Amino acid sequence: MQIGSRRHNRWLLPLALLLCGALFDAATVVYPPLSLGAADGLRIRLFRLARVAAVALPFLALFFSGLAARAGNDRTSRRGAAAMLFGAAAMPCILAAAAFSRLEIRMLLPLPALAVVYAAVCGALLAWRHARAPELWGWRLVAASTAGGLVMGLYAFDAPFLGNFAGAYDGALRTIIRGVHEGAIVLGMALIFLPRIREEGSRK
């Protein structure tokens, strides 16, 4: 009974976060915020990333839960799952809070960002032992891209660390960097998810 309850709880929190993220996205489509400034302004950029993170990170948490279930209840699974859940819950909240209230709140973003990177690295370690090559490379891509996102955070959202060294927000260099970052995460998530779908289909 305890094992079944633990497995149930492992899926419950990521699903709850995904539901909250989907509701948040739906609400902002029906009632778009009109007071956040220009399309390339800092507040609207924070808001857009909050919408993406509110759905993408709970999906990653679900993927991690599935991998952890296959890996067993070891220390890497437990710590990685806790870090992923923290990142999936905290990052969209911090982004949305910064967009709608005090911009200084965005300085807390390294906390959930580091948690997501740590969880993705744990996912790559678990996949190396308990998953096939596509899923392994998917977690590696996610880990590399989220780590790259940490570096991007040194200049993105008007951070004071690297200034404007990569150019304007809508400039060619930053557009390419964002495209590579986003594409790597999408490809990584696809490599994690699609092989699992094929395996489930073959079992049926």
Contact 98, 105 (CB under 8 A): yes
41: amino acid identity, one letter:
G
What would the pLDDT profile of 18-47 be if each residue is shown by its tens digit? 788 888 777 777 666 766 766 678 888 888
- How many angstroms separate the CA atoms of 186 and 60, rounded? 11
Q: What does pTM read for this prediction?
A: 0.84
- How much is the average pLDDT of 56-75? 90
Which run of H or of E encompasses 162? none
Among the residue ranges 11-25, 40-54, 58-72, 108-122, the one predicted with the least confidence is 11-25
Torsion of CA 173, 171, 175, 111, to 10 degrees: 90
- How much is the average pLDDT of 79-103? 93
4-18, 36-50, 173-187: range with highest mean pLDDT? 173-187
Residue (of 106, 90, 95) closest to 58 by Cα position: 90
Angle at 167 between CA 164 and CA 172, to 5 degrees: 155
